Amino acid sequence: MASNWRLFAAVVSVSSLLVGGAACGSDSGGDTVTITANAINSAGGKNAAEAKWIEDWVIPKFVAQQQAKGVTVQVKFQATGVPDEDYKSRIAKDLKTGTGADVVSLDGIWVGEFAEGEQIKPLDELVGADRVKAWDGWQHIPETVQRLTSYNGTQYGIPQETDGRVLFFNRKLFQQAGMPADWQPTSWDQVLEAGRKLKAVPGITPVQLNAGTSFGEATTTQGVLPLLAGTGSNLFENGKWVGNTAKLRKVLDFYRALYGEQLGDAELQQDAKGREKSFEKFAKGQVGILLESDYFWRGVLNPRGGSFPMADRDTQVGWAKIPAATPGTGLNNQDFVSVSGGGGRVINPKSKHVEMAWELLQFMNSPEAFSALIAGGGPRITARQDVNADALGEDPMLTFVSEQILPITSLRPALPEYTKVSKALAQATLDVVTGKSTADAAAAYGKAAEEAVGKDKVAGD
């Protein structure tokens, strides 16, 4: 899941917390309230650090906090360890039938779908607008990040984590190609020019820009969407999906130029394990530029436990903001753009303990809670800038994302049709990478989008 969510790694794969289950008593006074914590993570398994945080820190600290208020709370933890889609199906069934958790973790990309299905309700409606507004955490969460758990301008939960996409580059290869260690392109043409210079370095792939269907969601989030944002367009705007438009064709033109000049490896984009291989090649110094999220830095190249550890990461890996097509032509007339994933937690609208759920939701998104999570699991970008300022101070890359990328980022459409549109976009990139003309690839995409969501919901020009 976005999230990150490590979807955020594609796809965002989120560590999903639930709080719910059998309960008795009331949410006040001296009665006992019992809630059950159930997570998609497990100690020693998937997202083990977060599972440990829930069990060893969240539960005892929350119980103590409530005890100090005169409320006895019993919290039980049950790890599940199911795949993301199985988790999604499970909570969808629970919410429809009025069972399951009191507090539910959702990938940001699912919020719109669950909201449209009336499986979740706005926080204002559940808790009260004044109480929601009074939470002091909002002032520390950028508006762009708050949208992870909102839909149509309405807030359904509190975001937990996010990420940001940048251009990573190998400083050693840049030096061999005669380029600066502090490279920051200001247009797509400058990215292509850097690729042309890197092409002179033997045995490397100058630029890795995800393309094709084998890369799945990574093609959309680490390729098409950042480029589309660089043209000044969202994938979904004014009530319609982007179809065969001039801006979409501009994106495909860039793909065609990059792979047509053999600045990228077209065969790698068709490999079933292409994304993993691109990571490995970068770690070995065989890729010059790669567009990815901060997960690439902390989860892939990390010398201490990364999937493809790079011993000299801290000195040899640089990062730069993704430029708009030309200065000032990005979303909101920005010079630079990005895309973020992530997710957060919502309250089950049929919970018998909404008051306690709101207490827990606030607690789990407090500075103390996030700091404890980071201390146990390593640096990560939380939704809170005050936490990030303290926790990420020693990591220049994550600090860069927190301070410079999150304020300019954009999100994927939180709509149920997104998955089908995303697959059509991936096919369009595959088409141009394998030789089809931009016009033909864009036309095929436009038709596929119309079939997926309805002709009246697709914009073209």
Average the pLDDT over 120-143 and give the result: 96
What's at 382, amino acid-wise? T
Judged by average pLDDT, the poorest of 31-35, 47-51, 120-124, 259-263 is: 31-35
Task: Examine the pLDDT at 217 and tell me if it is beyond 80.
Answer: yes
Average the pLDDT over 356-384 and give the result: 90
- 48 or 360, which is more confident: 360
> How far apart are alpha carbons 335 and 323 in whole angstroms?
6
The neighbouring-strand residues paired with 232 are none
Task: Examine the pLDDT at 29 and tell me if it is beyond 70.
Answer: no
State the burial class of residue 73 (Cβ atoms within 10 Å of its Cβ: 0-12, 13-18, 19+).
buried
> How far apart are alpha carbons 193 and 205 in whole angstroms?
14
pLDDT at 79: 60
Task: Examine the pLDDT at 237 and tell me if it is beyond 50.
Answer: yes
Q: Average pLDDT of the chain?
A: 88
> How far apart are alpha carbons 347 and 158 in whole angstroms?
10
For the chain, percent of residues with pLDDT exceeding 70: 88
Residues 6+ apart with CB under 8 A from 242: 228, 233, 234, 235, 236, 248, 449, 458, 459
Task: Examine the pLDDT at 300 and tell me if it is beyond 80.
Answer: yes
pLDDT at 379: 82
DSSP letter string, 336-389: EEEEE-EEEEEE-TT-S-HHHHHHHHHHHTSHHHHHHHHHHH----BS-HHHHH
pLDDT at 33: 59
- 100 or 411, which is more confident: 411
Judged by average pLDDT, the poorest of 230-234, 340-344, 389-393 is: 389-393
> Tens of pLDDT along 141-170?
999 899 999 998 999 999 999 999 999 999
Average the pLDDT over 326-336 and give the result: 98
Phi first, then psi, for residue 106 (nearest 5°) are: -130, 140
> How far apart are alpha carbons 321 and 291 in whole angstroms?
10
pLDDT at 10: 20
- 75 or 365, which is more confident: 365
Strand extents, DSSP E, 112-265: 150-151, 154-155, 157-162, 165-170, 205-208, 236-237, 240-242
pLDDT at 40: 47
Local structure of 66: helix, strand or coil: helix
Q: How far is CA 1 from the centre of its chain?
A: 7
Average the pLDDT over 284-292 and give the result: 98
Reported as a pLDDT band with limits 50, 70 and 90, residue 32 is low
> How far apart are alpha carbons 204 and 263 in whole angstroms?
10
Task: Examine the pLDDT at 447 and tell me if it is beyond 70.
Answer: yes
Domains of the chain by start residue, with CATH: 32-163+341-411 (3.40.190.10), 164-339+413-459 (3.40.190.10)
Its sign, for the CA torsion 382, 383, 385, 386, is negative
Task: Examine the pLDDT at 28 and tell me if it is beyond 70.
Answer: no
